A and B are shown apart, each in its own frame.
Chain A
Amino acid sequence: MRENHPTETRLHDLVDGLLEPADREALERHLDACAACRSSADELRSLLHRAQGLGPLRPDRDLLPGIRARIDRRRAFPRWLVAAAAAAFLVGAVWFGSRGGVENDSGGTPATPSRLVEAFMAAEVEYEEANRALFDTLTARRNGRLSPETWAVVERNVEIIDEAIAEVRRALRSGAGDPADGHLLTALHQKKMQLLWRASRLSAERGV
């Protein structure tokens, strides 16, 4: 009877209800006679049952304040302004970092790489959110407004920029980076924003 044992795929199809009636009946006859296969099928059914019964999970903290803050920010400012603010914030952080940040009583300290990296990283959060908002907008309204070829170009360029951002970020976080890497990071974020901005404008113009 060994040659008649069902494949694993057929057992999955059985528990998922994907078998034709005749096939299912034949397999169930086999399960009646084969304890090993029956055990496998029971184990699969049990797993499926447990998965379907998984309940909600509670986050460690109340997320509502953060949600409210984001909603309020979006209510107060149009997206282009949020994006522009993020850009300004990042440029400001770079300038601040390159001047050494907060000066001490002894007459000022040069920027340390770690301080500068922190400034870049903090600013990045805002920049990423703004770029994500632009990307979301673009994605939501691209249908019929941007040709597949144009969209592919946008995606490919975003991908290239993201790769470059990831590399610079790795260098900064590893401690191997220097302030020049931070400036490069800024330039990459700006390039991404310009790309998304242009695509968004193009999309909006075509939608009028």
Chain B
Amino acid sequence: MGAFAFAPAQQATGTPGVVRRAREGDFAAFEELYRRNVGRVYGICLRLTADPAVAEELTQQAFVRAWRKLGSFRGDVEFPAWLGRLAVNVVLGERRQRNRRRERAFDDDAAAAEPETRAEPHEALDLERAIAALPDRARAVFVLHDVEGYHHEEIGRALGIASGTSKAQLHRARRLLREALR
């Protein structure tokens, strides 16, 4: 199965009863939550990292962290949304840890110096592959904004950049994607 194999359509996820049982330590309930949400979590991890092996590792970390933090889930948002945010935090936390120095260098000037795209210019790419071929920062901003629905202020805080930089990176990502998909 390829890295971009689509999961089956999801049923309604995170019903309160299953979440409650998982919070009480019922691993079978947690497994049910895993089955229902692994596609969403892996999707976030893969789109943000563009690396299937890393995405698998981070997906596992996200679920382990979810297990630990279930007690803090209050139900004021849907469980998949809570889990999705947690997954994003895991990916970005890992990214910060591994690329701390590089992350700090990612201001407007450094971003402008990134290679325009790793995609073959005339290759027909579907959207997933085109996203994977984006430069790291542009990809992260595009996935968080256009796929996951984050605002620029939130992205700025998460990535340690100005919201204006987030916006510029989003426009750049869209431009590169349009070119790649033509």
Interface residues, chain A, with chain B CB atoms under 8 Å away: 8-9, 12, 43-44, 47-48, 50-52, 54-61, 63-64, 66-68, 70-71, 74, 132, 135-136, 139, 155, 158-159, 162-163
The main secondary structure of chain B at its interface with chain A is: helix
- Known A47-B177, A55-B6, A58-B39; judge A63-B63 contact (CB<8 A): yes
* Interface CB pairs A-B, < 8 A, 7: A12-B167, A44-B178, A57-B46, A58-B1, A59-B42, A59-B56, A136-B93
A51 touching B146 by the CB < 8 A rule?
yes
Query: Could you list 20 further interchain pairs (A-B, Cβ under 8 angstroms) beyond the known A12-B167, A50-B127, A58-B38?
Result: A12-B171, A48-B146, A51-B142, A54-B43, A54-B47, A54-B127, A54-B128, A56-B7, A56-B43, A57-B4, A58-B1, A58-B5, A60-B52, A63-B60, A64-B31, A71-B64, A71-B67, A159-B100, A162-B97, A162-B98
A58/B7 contact (C-beta < 8 A), A70-B64, A74-B64 known: yes
Residues of chain B within 8 A (CB-CB) of A68 are 27
Contacts of B178 in A (CB 8 A): 43-44, 47
Contacts of B147 in A (CB 8 A): 51-52, 54
Confirm or deny: B59 has a beta carbon within 8 angstroms of a beta carbon on chain A.
Answer: yes
Is the beta-carbon distance between A8 and B171 smaller than 8 angstroms?
yes
B68 touches A (CB below 8 Å)? yes
A55 touches B60 (CB 8 A): no
Shortest 6 CB-CB contacts between residues of A and residues of B = A56-B39, A51-B146, A57-B43, A58-B7, A56-B7, A67-B63
Candidate in B7, B38, B39, B177 with the most chain A CB atoms within 10 angstroms: B38
A139 to B68, CA, bound (A): 15
Is the Cβ of B175 less than 8 Å from the Cβ of A8? Answer: yes
Q: Which of B87-117 contact A (CB under 8 A)?
A: 93, 97-98, 100-101
Given the contacts A47-B177, A60-B1, A71-B67, A66 and B60 also touching, CB distance less than 8 Å: yes
**B146 contacts which chain A residues (CB < 8 A)?**
47-48, 51-52
Min CB–CB distance A76 → chain B (angstroms): 14
Chain A binding surface SS class: helix
Contacts of B181 in A (CB 8 A): 47
A164 to chain B, nearest CB (A): 12
Count of B interface residues, CB-CB < 8 Å: 49
Which chain A residue lies CB-closest to B130?
A47
Q: In the complex the two chains form, what is the Cα distance from A60 to B57 in whole Å? A: 12
> Does B97 contact A132, Cβ atoms closer than 8 Å?
yes
Q: Is the CB of A59 within 8 A of B59?
A: yes
- Smallest CB separation, B127 vs chain A (Å): 5
Contact between B38 and A63, CB atoms less than 8 A apart:
yes
B5 partner residues in chain A, CB cutoff 8 A: 57-58, 60
Closest-CB distance, B131 to chain A (whole angstroms): 8
